[in-house]
Amino acid sequence: MRYFLLALFISVNIFAQKNVTISDTLNVVTLQKFNVPADRYIVLTNIKRISIQAELLDSEFNKIRDVEEIAQTLSSKEVISKAKGGRGVMVQFVAKEAIEEPGVYYIRIDINYIDEQGKGTASAYYLINVSYPIVTSKINLRENYFYSEKETMSFATAEFSDPNGYSYEIIDAAGNVLAIGTGSIISFNKVFSNIKNVGKEITVKGYYKEKQFFYKYNGDDVHKSEWTFRMNKPNLEEFNDWKKANPDDRIAISAWNKNAMRLLYTYTGNTPNGFVVVYPDIKNFQFKGEPKELFENPHYSRAGNFLYVSFGLNKEFLAQMEDCAEQPVKLSLKFTTQFGEKVEKVYEGIILK
C-alpha cells in the first residue's frame, strides 16, 4: 500500500518559500470547476480507515480556504463498515474546486489512513494556473440603439462548457429588471420593442454559475461580462411640398396639385446595417389653416409606416379667386406621438390658382 502511495505522488521539486513537490500542474480559467487530479481519480487499496482533507493555497502557500467538495467512493463510513474483520477495501477520490480570480495557486491534499500494514499519511501539492476565459466571438454592442431595432449577442466562452451554467439579466439605470434569461445567447427584440425603455441607459450582465466574470478576446485586454448602451427614439422625418430647404425660399403650391394637400411623417434611424422605420402613432391632433375658409376636412390616416395628414381646399373659395391669383396661406399642425413628443409644425406659402 505505501509503495503505491509513493508511486502515486511521484513529482517534480520546486522552490518557493519552502521546498515542496508538485504532483501535477493544471491550467484552468476563472469560475471553471476542475478536478484534482485532472485526468483520473486517486485509487488507494487495502484501506481500513481513511480521512481526506484538501486546502486551496495562494502563491505563497498561505491557506485561502478548505476544498469542500471531495468526491469519494467508498465513503469513510462505508470503509469502516466493509473493512470490519477482514481485508481492507479500495477507495477512489478526487477533489473539485473553482477559483474566481486569476493567478497562481496550489491545492494540497492530505490523506490519513490505516491499511493492512498500520497507520500512514500522505500529502500532495498541485500547482494551479488560473487565467481568464476567452469568448468565442467578439462582442460588438453599440453605444446607442433605436426603438424597434433587432439585435442578438452571445457571450459564450471556449472554456465554460456547461450551456446551462450561463444566465443574464437586463436592467435599467434605476436597477429595474427589464429581462432575464438562461443561456449565453441574448435577443434584445422584446426590450427594444418596449416603448417604456426609450431614453433609458440599459445594462446587460452576463453570468456563469450565477457569477459575473472577466474575459479576453483576441488579445490581452480584459473585459467584464457587463455591457451598457442607450435606447433612443428614431428621428421624426417629414415629406411634403411645403418644406423649405432654406428660410428665404418661396413656397408656391398649385391649387390643383392634390399631392401637395397631404403631409407625410415617419420616424427613421440610421444603423450600421441599414435603418429603422417607425410609424408615428399620434393623439391630440390639431390642424389650423389660414384663411380658415380655404381649408376643409383636415384628417390623418396611416399608410404602412407613414402618417398621412390630408386636407382639402374649399371649391367655393377657389371659385371666387381670379385666374392666376395668389393666396398667402399658413398651416399650423400639432400632435403628440407615442414617445410623448409634442410636434408643432408651421408652414407658410402661396396657393396659386
Which of 266, 281, 259 lies closest to 338, judged by CA? 281
Range in 4-13, 187-196, 271-280, 308-317 the model is least confident about = 4-13
- SS3 (DSSP) at 38: coil
Per-residue pLDDT, 248: 82
Convert 252-266 to b/e letters by CB count within 10 Å (16 or more is b).
Answer: ebebeeeebbbbebb
Alpha-helical (H) ranges within the chain are: 2-8, 76-82, 189-192, 315-320
Mean pLDDT of 124-151: 95
Full set of structural domains in the chain with CATH: 2-131 (2.60.40.10), 144-232 (2.60.40), 235-352 (2.60.40)
- Which grid coordinates are listed for 164? 446551462
- Residue 332 CA to residue 317 CA, distance in Å, equals 20
Per-residue pLDDT, 18: 59
Which of 209, 64, 196, 36 lies closest to 133, judged by CA? 209
pLDDT for 205 beyond 50: yes
> Residue 32 gets which letter from DSSP?
-
pLDDT for 15 beyond 80: no
pLDDT tens column, 23-44? 999 999 999 999 999 888 889 8
pTM recorded for the entire structure? 0.81
pLDDT for 138 beyond 70: yes
Looking at the DSSP bridge assignments, the partners of residue 24 are 126
Cβ–Cβ < 8 Å for 166, 208 = yes
pLDDT-based confidence at residue 182 (cuts at 50, 70, 90)? very high
pLDDT for 12 beyond 80: no
- Which grid coordinates are listed for 175? 436597477
Name the E strands within 58-117: 63-66, 69-73, 89-97, 103-115
Cβ–Cβ < 8 Å for 326, 351 = yes
